[in-house]
Structure 1
Amino acid sequence: MEAIKKIHHISAIVGDPRENISFYEGVLKLRLVKQTVNFDDPETYHLYFGNDLAEPGTLITFFPWTTASRGRVGSGQVGRIAFRVPKGSLGYWNERLTSFNIEFQVTQLFLKPTIEFFDPHGLSLALVEGDDVGKDEKILGFHGATLLSSSPKQTVKTLMDDLGLIQLSETEETYHLETVGEEKHHLIVPKERLARGRFGVGTVHHIAWSVPDDTSHRQWQDYLYEEKYNVTEIKDRQYFNAIYFIEKGNIVFEMATDGPGFTINESLEHLGETLMLPPQFESLRPQLESHLPSLSERGKTNGID
């Protein structure tokens, strides 16, 4: 199989959707590129944020579970999600987070200056300075993530032998890997095995890997089946097709196609402005809109500048 080139998206569980939008749109200056619902639980929003073009490799998505209890971060989950920012912009982000009273620490988590902090619902985040100079200080996309495996060696084996990532280094504490595409997304697998995680607010549900088209997607499904992974049927997520499997360290992996993309039912200029329902739920629109909390006030309080 051709090696995986990049992360497609990362999906996490959070609380109030208005707080979620206020933080990611207002503080981190990401673009809300799609308001839709969880196709498996349509009374819950599924909110997508990304760059201005809504490109795979920049997409972080959220299931706001307003009535759910806080989860427990642990093995079998993605840990800290890292975004890449332009070269020379960490000073700007230091000042910006300070202006919003967001506590952070500067580390070398990804072997480069890294700002570590949490979102309002306890999700672990980081900003890592990249090598590219941007036109401004805005987030460029993902830098990578940590993978909290219940079997670190087996997770690294899956990443290298099956997905085609390369190992950059190994220390007493971690394995450090990288995708082979131009994005060079970084994955850190700690060797310490935490207690088993529990999904809930403040945890990551899955990480999705990018595949270019439906043909390669079906090939990946066949390959994973042959390698004895319990891979799902292909699921139509309207903006991409998806298959899921649990790798040997119990982390949920997804393979997602790059297309058809987020402009199939909204223009690029108006992405994220309206609740977009898949065809199977359109007849339920009045019921769903009456149940879902209104997001119309987000622009008045999110601090966008």
Structure 2
Amino acid sequence: MTIATNGLHHVTAIAGDPQRNADFYLKTLGLRLVKSTVNFDDPGTYHLYYGDEAGRPGSLMTFFPFRGAPRGRQGTGQATTTSFSVPEHSIGWWYRHLESVGVEVGRIQNRDGEDVLTFRDPDGLVLSLVAHPQGDPRAPWDNGIVPAEHGIRGLHSVTLSVSREEATFGMLNKLGLNLVSEQENRFRFAAADGGPGSFVDVLVTPREPEGLVAAGTVHHVAWRAPDQPTQATWRAELAESGVRPTSILDRQYFRSVYFREPGGTLLEIATDDPGFTADEPLLELGRALKLPPWLEPSREQIAAGLPALNLPAENNPEELPA
């Protein structure tokens, strides 16, 4: 196998009310809405993408918000925690900030030499902020809501919960990830040279029930491919090894291939290109509803069925920080 992902591309989850979702990720976590579009497979609901100022791969958390969606159940066969990277000195600031806006937070823990602060979003999705002792060179979205010195740098890791580990370990190895640490029933794998944005933790919980994907749970986890030819090669290698990947799908801002790892979690390989400025300027990212060409004839009908989203002015400043 020649597959060697550089790390996480994005994590996609299910939410309930879209305005509540946007308020939390924009105002509480200080991310930027870099694309407002729809679920291409179910255009009656939004697909909202949050990330750094340009929505770079590795910074992205995305949502399908279904109004009135029932709560899901976290369990095996899912990504059960999504973690963001923050500066090492910022965990205390985040603890106070989250408490001040009414978010219930757990105690700060130290795991693998990293401080970890765990909490839930308004739909119950489990999130954590992680401070890596070697730091994270990625720049935050400097929006004036969360101070840049404390801002989220991007994704840090995801945690997959499985009832049995061997087959999942094998799949991660196929993707080019290697086991780098082990603590009781938690196993950390890293892509490339490791560091924030490259990690996946496998939590082995044989007595836990299977998860149920609905509001407050992760739908899928995407890994990076540098370009479309590389993605096509990797897809062919997965198919030859007995995995059943989908065809390559056009998601406008990247190309996608989906498949399930043996533990049950839906995975994706997503290309780094073409990116979110493919159909709107950097300054205007997320401001307007963007549709793929095949849905444009139905724009009026689709837009009428979607609730309005009120975005803070900081999402689209007149100038971006230098």
Alignment TM class, shorter chain as reference: over 0.9
Q: 1:211·1:255 contact (CA, 8 Å) conserved in 2?
A: yes
Corresponding residue for residue 170 of structure 1: 182
Give the secondary-structure state (helix, strand or coil) at the position aligned to 2:75: coil
Query: Is the aligned partner of 1:127 residue 2:139?
Result: no
| Aligned AA (2:201) | I
Query: Is the aligned partner of 1:145 residue 2:166?
Result: no
Corresponding residue for residue 238 of structure 1: 252
Q: 2:157·2:199 contact (CA, 8 Å) conserved in 1?
A: yes
How many angstroms does 1:81 deviate by?
Answer: 0.4
| Aligned AA (1:198) | L
Q: Find the aligned partners of 2:111 and 2:47 in 1 and give their Cα distance.
A: 30
Q: Find the aligned partners of 1:109 and 1:207 in 2 and give their Cα distance.
A: 22
Corresponding residue for residue 192 of structure 2: 180
Corresponding residue for residue 88 of structure 1: 89
Per-residue CA deviation, residues 122-181 of structure 1 (Å, 9 max, x unaligned), is 000000013327652110001101101243221112112x01112112233221111214
| Aligned AA (1:74) | G
Corresponding residue for residue 291 of structure 1: 305
Per-residue CA deviation, residues 229-287 of structure 1 (Å, 9 max, x unaligned), is 11100000000000000111111010000000000101011100010011111111111
Q: Find the aligned partners of 1:61 and 1:99 in 2 and give their Cα distance.
A: 25
Corresponding residue for residue 279 of structure 1: 293
How many angstroms does 1:89 deviate by?
Answer: 1.2
Kindly report which structure 2 residues correspond to 1:27-46, keeping only aligned pairs within 5 A, or say none. 27-46=28-47
Per-residue CA deviation, residues 163-203 of structure 1 (Å, 9 max, x unaligned), is 11121122332211112146442211112132111110000
Corresponding residue for residue 283 of structure 2: 269
How many angstroms does 1:78 deviate by?
Answer: 0.5
Give the secondary-structure state (helix, strand or coil) at the position aligned to 1:24: helix
- Unaligned stretches of 5+ in structure 1? none
Give the secondary-structure state (helix, strand or coil) at the position aligned to 1:196: coil
Instruction: Provide the TM-score with structure 1 as the length reference.
Output: 0.94
Q: 1:71·1:203 contact (CA, 8 Å) conserved in 2?
A: yes
| Aligned AA (1:53) | A
Q: CA RMSD in A?
A: 1.9
Corresponding residue for residue 214 of structure 2: 200
- Runs (4+) of structure 1 exceeding 4 A deviation are 181-184
Kindly report which structure 2 residues correspond to 1:216-227, keeping only aligned pairs within 5 A, or say none. 216-227=230-241
Deviates more, 1:194-203 or 1:39-48: 194-203
Q: 1:6·1:183 contact (CA, 8 Å) conserved in 2?
A: no
| Aligned AA (2:110) | Q
| Aligned AA (1:173) | N
Query: Is the aligned partner of 1:136 residue 2:149?
Result: yes
Give the secondary-structure state (helix, strand or coil) at the position aligned to 1:79: strand
Q: Sequence identity of aligned pairs in percent?
A: 41
Q: 2:76·2:205 contact (CA, 8 Å) conserved in 1?
A: no
Give the secondary-structure state (helix, strand or coil) at the position aligned to 2:55: coil
Give the secondary-structure state (helix, strand or coil) at the position aligned to 1:89: helix
Give the secondary-structure state (helix, strand or coil) at the position aligned to 1:88: helix
Q: Find the aligned partners of 2:75 and 2:245 in 1 and give their Cα distance.
A: 23
Q: Find the aligned partners of 1:24 and 1:110 in 2 and give their Cα distance.
A: 27
Which residue of the other structure, out of 257, 262, 267, is the alignment partner of 1:253?
Answer: 267
Q: Find the aligned partners of 1:205 and 1:150 in 2 and give their Cα distance.
A: 18
Q: 1:231·1:243 contact (CA, 8 Å) conserved in 2?
A: yes
Q: 1:71·1:200 contact (CA, 8 Å) conserved in 2?
A: yes
Per-residue CA deviation, residues 21-76 of structure 1 (Å, 9 max, x unaligned), is 00000000000000000000001100000011210000000000113211111111
| Aligned AA (1:129) | A
Kindly report which structure 2 residues correspond to 1:69-84, keeping only aligned pairs within 5 A, or say none. 69-84=70-85
Q: 1:151·1:248 contact (CA, 8 Å) conserved in 2?
A: no
Q: Find the aligned partners of 2:195 and 2:285 in 1 and give their Cα distance.
A: 24
Q: 2:163·2:204 contact (CA, 8 Å) conserved in 1?
A: no
| Aligned AA (2:178) | I
The 3 A distance-change label for structure 1 pair 181 and 276 is: farther
